[in-house]
Amino acid sequence: MDIMSLMKELQNIEEYLDLNWEGNFEAYLKLVKENPHIIRSAYQRIYDMIMLYGYEEYLSGGKKMIHYKFFDDVNCDGKDAVYGLDLPLMKLVNVFKAAAHRLGSEKRVILLHGPVGSAKSTICRLLKRGIEKYSTTNEGALYSYKWVAKGDKDLIQNLFGGQDEFTCPMHGDPLQLVPREKRTQVIKELNKEKPQEYRLDVEGSLCPPCRFIMKELLQKYEGDWTKVMKHVQVYRLVLSEKDRVGIGTFQPKDEKNQDSTELTGDLNYKKIAIYGSDSDPRAFNFDGEFNIANRGMVEFIEVLKLDVAFLYDLLGASQEHSIKPKKFAQTDIDEVIIGHTNEPEYRKLQNNEFMEALRDRTIKIDIPYITHLSDEVKIYKKDFGKEKLNHKTIAPHALEVASLWAVLTRLEIPKKTNLTLLQKLKLYNGDKIHGFTEDSIVELRKETIREGLQGISPRYVQDKISHALVACEKIHHSCVDGFQLLSELLEGLTHNSLISNEEQRKIYEELLGIARQEYEDRIKTDVQRAVSADEESLKQLFSNYVDNVRAYTQREKLPNKLTGVEELPNERLMRSIEEKIDIPESRKEDFRREIVNYIGNLTKEGRKFDYKSNPRLQKALELKLFEDQKDSIKLSSFSSEVVDESTQERIHSIKKRLIDNFGYCEESASSALKYVSSIFARGDPK
């Protein structure tokens, strides 16, 4: 198939015609009557957009949490998905909901506050891209209007500046053409006929040029509003940041080259010659960020770095929903205003007594760093997945330990003396630690002051992963393991400009030591499991252990398999397994009863209990089997270059298990075996 034929198949004429619908004012009123949602405010629209994607409820720390699926970025296959920030995003959506119900939040500037690289810009980007997409759907349809001369030469020459039509520069709602006193009754009827979750309304007046044209046409038709409406053509409005329709973005620049007209528009000197006066609204470009963002949203990047003159414009835009273009009256707007800033700028705002008015009109939402390990890992797996690495690979656990270190830098040292920082991280991540419950996590969260607002940015880790991948290519390696990655992270600390003092650098280096130990433990466990991954041997050991535990808890004896003579349960066997998972002598009876009760419950449910049913028991069995086998297979000889044929075969078999069962590649499997074997070569019993 040639490209033109393919394009013909892919195009959707029906969708194009739907998005470019035009009709007269009467046709628009029929659409509104059928679907009053068309006239929603910007806040109502953005709230409905988020809810359209659905949500999931779950419990965390005894609290009901909500995960909004919109922030998974399903439209772009998770490219900008936000992980681990369900609580801040719940607060943000609650602000949108309150604003949709007109409870006061719609009169505030939403300020996303947090450290660098905490996803503030990503959240804004998701909202902008989402509202663009939403405006192209049937659920998110909205409309604006333009004035048409319909061949009237007088209007073309004197009112529209030589053009046949004049499009509303603010993308206003067509219902604003209805006089306010009459519009109130229309809106009342709509809310009564089809009650909504929130009250619908179309607030505000026409923009200055549309107000001017309306006034001139009313004079032409001697006050007959119905005749004026014949010059109105309504069209489907599709929001687009690139086309500057309904979505605006403002970024601070050099104060000498930037003024507040970038927000509210400026005179068009060419049009003054056409219309004859600089006070004629048709000679004014209503193309500032506030103007073009009407009906949608505007993002202020690093909002608190703006000059004071810009911040004054924010006051009216938020509280009064109006802006003041130069030489014209207050102009109404309907848009979501979101800014984001880092902590130093926010502290300056707090300390500036002259900015009290802005502080009073601001809803601050903290966007911290992620403190859940599993969520941090998702960031790097998204950026460095297999499909993005071509022929290179990243060894198992490498991304996890880099994530672990990043999260450790963000946590505050627990006040409980019996809890380490690593244990705290694991508790937050949902791991079970003896002596701690869900309530313990709540207490740990409450005692923190700045947790998540400090530490290492994900960007730093991303940069170092990239460096490690490039470095391994230079030495003709195809795989980056955890040791290489941790070395990159350590080396980069010397040049990291966000580390303010030597003490902080030393703390980060110590935490890298913890991460390294965790990585070593993980690869040792993998090798141990690969060595002891004999399914039949594990099943046999498991069966033997369970038989002995049952007999022990029921005070019975077991027949010896060789002699048939009944004997007491094998205490030495049971303890050799239980000690592998740190079950003390004082708790052995409790643990054994737990196992027996668990087996009983599964049996009642019609399920079978095997060695994989209990992860702790599985780990203990694997460690026991490894201990029994490691001497017979001469593990310490793996680090030697000269090995006999049978040992070489055994090495190949273990390496294959690492590759097939644990996700290693040939290179990383060899490195893991070499590292673990070197430990045993040194005589390390662990």
Would you say 482 and 461 are in contact if contact means Cβ atoms under 8 Å apart?
no
Ramachandran category for residue 479: left, alpha or beta (phi over 0 → left; psi -120 to 50 → alpha): beta
The half-sphere exposure of 305 on its side-chain side, counting CA atoms within 13 A, is 15
Beta strands in 291-333 (DSSP E): 297-300, 322-323, 331-332
Distance CA 207, CA 58 (A): 46
Strands (E), 15-86: 22-24, 55-60, 63-68
Q: Quick: pLDDT tens for 178-220.
A: 998 889 888 888 888 777 788 889 999 999 999 999 999 999 9
- 339 bridge partner residues: 111, 300
DSSP state of 498: T
Residues 145, 234 contacting (CB under 8 angstroms): yes
Exposed/middle/buried for 90, CB within 10 Å: 0-12, 13-18, 19+?
middle
Secondary structure class of 296 (helix, strand, coil): coil
d(CA 673, CA 643): 14
Tell me, rounded to whole angstroms, the distance of Cα 177 from its chain centroid: 40
Which whole-number Å values give the CA distances from 641 to 527, 560, 636, 638, 644, in the listed order? 19, 44, 11, 8, 10
Q: Which secondary structure element, helix H or strand E, spans residue 284, and what is its range?
A: strand 284-285
Burial class for 590, CB neighbours closer than 10 Å (0-12, 13-18, 19+): exposed
Whether the model clears a pTM of 0.95, i.e. scores above it, the answer is no
- For residue range 534-551, what is the model confidence (pLDDT) as tens digits? 677 778 888 888 889 888
Reduce the DSSP state of residue 123 to 3 states and report it: helix
Q: Which domains does the chain have, with CATH numbers?
A: 20-368 (3.40.50.300), 373-529 (no CATH), 532-623 (no CATH)
Evaluate whether 333 touches 204 at the Cβ level (below 8 Å): yes
Residue environment code for 500-538, b if the CB has 16+ CB neighbours within 10 A, otherwise e: eeeebeeebeebbebbbebbbebbbbbbbbbbbbeeeeb
DSSP per position, 431-490: ---TT--HHHHHHHHHT-SSTTSSS--HHHHHHHHHHHHHHHHHTT--EE-HHHHHHHHH
Tokens of residue 662, six digits: 């644990």
pLDDT for position 685: 47
Rounded to 5 degrees, what are φ and ψ at 144? -135, -165
Phi, psi of 338 (to 5 degrees): -125, 130
Residue 256's pLDDT is what? 66
> Around Cβ 640, how many Cβ atoms within 10 Å?
11
- Are the C-beta atoms of residues 235 and 229 closer than 8 Å to each other? no
Q: What separation, in Å, do the N-terminal and C-terminal C-alpha atoms of the chain show?
A: 63
Coil, strand or helix: which one is 644? coil
Mean pLDDT for back-to-back runs of 10 residues, the chain (686 residues):
78 88 95 92 96 93 89 91 95 96 93 93 96 96 95 89 92 94 87 80 93 95 95 97 95 74 89 87 93 96 80 86 90 95 84 78 94 95 81 91 97 89 93 84 89 93 93 79 94 85 93 95 87 76 87 87 82 88 88 87 82 80 75 51 67 86 90 80 54
How far is Cα 43 from Cα 66, in angstroms, rounded to an integer? 20
Q: What is the DSSP string of 389-446?
A: STT-EE-TTHHHHHHHHHHHHHSPPPS-TT--HHHHHHHHTT---TT--HHHHHHHHH
Q: For the CA atoms of 495, 497, 499, 501, what is the dihedral angle to 10 degrees? A: 80
Q: Which of 481, 534, 530, 541 is nearest to 667 (CA)?
A: 481
Joined together, the tokens standing for residue 577 give 């397994």
Find, among 402, 365, 369, the residue nearest to 498 by Cα: 369
